[in-house]
């Protein structure tokens, strides 16, 4: 009674979790009105049923169905009623981060195009895939290699070295020119100052004399000759211009002279410091280039050796491979319970199936079995002899199996499984009539004859498996422990199998429930 009670509690716990997920899943699908649209792509890049549909970064629906239509792939999806989708809307396939989970992004369009109706076909747009990121990284690495080759070629021909030597020589020539001609430059500035001062003192007198000559010429011109009058007019105009412009010109000449003098005298220290810094920088650059050319330091090795580039390229490839494998893999979560009539086993458990490729998968599970462990073992002495009485109790067992597809012909396939089955050695052979319908065979508990009270032959179960299309529910039925007359019977069971797409959808639905 105690063992049955414990098993019952465990089965009820598993059933409660399953019911919660189904109710949540069902409510999310049906408790609110939806609008359905469709679009067509040449390639959906791994988008699957149950993937999110987003509008402006907000999840508003899910991908309902994917099917081939001629040379295109038709994607049917739903959106909550009330979300504005217009006739010029466009659908894109995007990726969540580096893990490669795909979702459908909808650019809702503009109101002037009018609202799209239930069942309308939307235009498709670009596919944003993580493969593009790795292709870009490889292109950048290729361009970097070409650039480094060019730099290495330039350094190998001493071109950069010659350029810096010419710059250094030019700076030395300028410095020498300034030093050698400093006295002549100062003398020229003094001459300019003296000329400016002389003009200031004598120019007013010259202008006055020109005015006087013009007046005398006007007086002399008694015959009103046109040529004399024109000459006088020109002289007056020249005098006027000189009066107006000469002070301004003299002021500019004086300011320019002062600025040049300041640069060569007061700023002499700054000029020398600048030239010194340029010399030092040129020297440092020459030393750096020499080290790079000799292959010293990281940059030197990068320029002169191919090893660092090769390692970088291999690093990028090694980083991209795990993400590529995860992107192409699939994962199922399984919740199940079974009842065996012959050996009176009641089982329940939770497990996972990982599909790294189309012809391989790994299965692991924790299984609770009402007869999973020996609780007590007693020797009973009677007149007819000694017998051993065994009492079994609740036990937690482990499934861990590797499966490989052996044959494939259309929708029909044959798979082999091997590993642990309920914490014992086991193998299996499955015939797939379709993806959701198969005949299963399991031989396990090999070596059970060494246990007290157990039969000599292993347990053989042959059964029929069916999973509902587009729904997570499945059931199993068949014969149990067929090799042993004492324990031969039937088994029947049911459970839920959630593909990772459904799980992501369920998690999103639970998080959105207020």
Domain membership of residue 319 (yes or no) is no
CA–CA gap between residue 182 and residue 189 (Å, rounded)? 11
Check whether residue 345 and residue 494 sit in a common domain. Answer: yes
**Six token digits for residue 421:** 């089955």
Final residue belonging to a domain, choices 128, 153, 169: 128
Residues 6+ apart with CB under 8 A from 161: 155, 286, 289
Domain membership of residue 59 (yes or no) is yes
CA–CA gap between residue 76 and residue 323 (Å, rounded)? 28
Check whether residue 375 and residue 436 sit in a common domain. Answer: yes
**Direct distance between the N- and C-terminal alpha carbons of the chain, in angstroms, rounded to an integer:** 42
Give the CATH number for residue 490: 2.40.160
Boundaries of domain holding 225: 181-286
Check whether residue 211 and residue 355 sit in a common domain. Answer: no
Check whether residue 391 and residue 496 sit in a common domain. Answer: yes
Domain membership of residue 154 (yes or no) is no
Domain membership of residue 38 (yes or no) is yes
Check whether residue 346 and residue 281 sit in a common domain. Answer: no
Give the burial class of 128: count Cβ atoms within 10 A of its Cβ; 0-12 exposed, 13-18 middle, 19 or more buried. middle
Domain membership of residue 25 (yes or no) is no
Check whether residue 344 and residue 271 sit in a common domain. Answer: no
Check whether residue 359 and residue 278 sit in a common domain. Answer: no
Domain membership of residue 453 (yes or no) is yes
* 88: nearest Cα among 63, 54, 111: 111
Residues 6+ apart with CB under 8 A from 402: 360, 362, 363, 417, 418, 419
**Six token digits for residue 83:** 């979300």
User: What does DSSP say about strands 90-96 and 121-127: parallel, antiparallel, or unpaired?
Assistant: parallel
Final residue belonging to a domain, choices 99, 128, 157: 128
Residues 6+ apart with CB under 8 A from 394: 3, 6, 7, 10, 368, 369, 370, 372, 373
Give the CATH number for residue 56: 2.40.30
Check whether residue 430 and residue 481 sit in a common domain. Answer: yes
Per the structure, how many domains does the chain have? 3
Domain membership of residue 351 (yes or no) is yes
Domain membership of residue 500 (yes or no) is yes
Check whether residue 505 and residue 443 sit in a common domain. Answer: yes
Check whether residue 381 and residue 468 sit in a common domain. Answer: yes
Check whether residue 440 and residue 385 sit in a common domain. Answer: yes
Q: pLDDT truncated to tens, each residue of the chain (514 aa)? A: 456 666 677 767 777 776 666 555 544 444 578 999 999 999 888 889 989 999 988 999 999 999 998 889 999 999 998 899 999 999 999 987 656 688 999 999 999 999 999 999 999 877 766 565 556 556 656 776 676 666 666 555 566 567 667 777 777 777 676 666 667 777 767 777 777 777 677 777 777 777 776 676 666 555 555 666 676 677 677 667 666 766 776 676 677 666 666 655 655 666 667 677 777 767 766 776 676 666 666 656 655 666 655 666 666 566 556 555 555 678 889 999 999 898 788 888 999 999 998 899 999 999 988 776 655 555 555 556 655 555 566 678 899 999 999 999 988 999 999 999 988 889 999 999 988 899 999 999 887 766 666 788 899 999 999 999 878 889 999 999 999 888 899 999 999 988 765 555 555 544 444 4
Check whether residue 43 and residue 191 sit in a common domain. Answer: no
């Amino acid at each position: 009674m105690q063992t049955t009670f414990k098993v019952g509690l465990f089965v009820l716990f598993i059933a409660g979790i399953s019911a919660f997920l189904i109710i949540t899943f069902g409510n999310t699908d049906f408790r609110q009105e939806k609008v359905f649209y469709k679009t067509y792509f040449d390639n959906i890049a791994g988008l699957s049923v149950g993937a999110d549909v987003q509008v402006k970064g907000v999840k508003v629906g899910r991908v309902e169905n994917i099917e081939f239509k001629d040379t295109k792939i038709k994607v049917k999806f739903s959106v909550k009623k009330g979300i504005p989708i217009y006739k010029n809307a466009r659908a894109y396939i995007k990726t969540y981060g580096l893990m490669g989970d795909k979702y459908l992004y909808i650019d809702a369009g503009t109101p002037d195009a009018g609202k799209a109706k239930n069942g309308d076909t939307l235009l498709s747009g670009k596919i944003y895939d993580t493969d593009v990121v790795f292709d870009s990284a490889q292109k950048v690495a290729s361009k970097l290699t070409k650039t480094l080759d060019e730099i290495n070629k330039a350094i190998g021909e001493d071109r950069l070295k010659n350029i810096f030597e010419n710059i250094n020589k030019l700076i030395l020539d300028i410095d020498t020119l300034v030093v050698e001609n400093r006295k002549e430059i100062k003398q020229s500035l003094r001459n300019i100052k003296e000329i400016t001062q002389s003009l200031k003192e004598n120019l007013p007198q010259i202008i006055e004399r020109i005015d006087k000559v013009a007046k005398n010429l006007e007086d002399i011109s008694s015959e009103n000759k046109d040529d004399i009058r024109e000459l006088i007019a020109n002289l007056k105009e020249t005098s006027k211009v000189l009066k107006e412009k000469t002070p301004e010109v003299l002021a500019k000449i004086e300011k320019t002279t002062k600025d040049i003098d300041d640069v060569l005298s007061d700023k002499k220290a700054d000029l020398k410091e600048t030239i010194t810094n340029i010399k030092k920088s040129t020297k440092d650059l020459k030393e750096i280039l020499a080290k790079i050319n000799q292959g010293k330091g990281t940059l030197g090795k990068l320029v002169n050796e191919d090893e660092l580039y090769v390692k970088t390229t291999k690093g990028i490839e090694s980083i991209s491979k795990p993400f590529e494998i995860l992107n192409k893999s699939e994962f199922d979560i399984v919740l199940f319970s079974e009842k065996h009539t012959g050996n009176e086993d009641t089982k329940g458990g939770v497990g996972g199936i990982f599909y790294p490729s189309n012809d391989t998968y790994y299965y692991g599970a924790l299984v609770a079995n009402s007869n999973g462990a020996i609780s007590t073992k007693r020797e009973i002495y009677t007149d007819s002899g000694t017998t051993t009485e065994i009492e079994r109790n609740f036990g937690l067992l482990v499934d861990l199996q590797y499966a490989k597809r052996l044959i494939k012909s259309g929708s029909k396939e044959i798979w082999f499984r091997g590993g642990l089955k309920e914490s014992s050695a086991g193998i299996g052979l499955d015939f797939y009539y379709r993806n959701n319908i198969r005949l299963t065979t399991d031989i396990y508990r090999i070596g059970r004859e060494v246990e007290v009270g157990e039969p000599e032959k292993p347990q053989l179960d042959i059964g029929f498996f069916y999973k509902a299309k587009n729904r997570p529910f499945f059931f199993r039925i068949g014969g149990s422990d067929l090799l042993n007359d004492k324990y031969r019977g039937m088994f029947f069971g049911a459970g839920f199998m959630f593909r990772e797409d459904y799980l992501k959808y369920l998690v999103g639905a639970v998080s959105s429930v207020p």
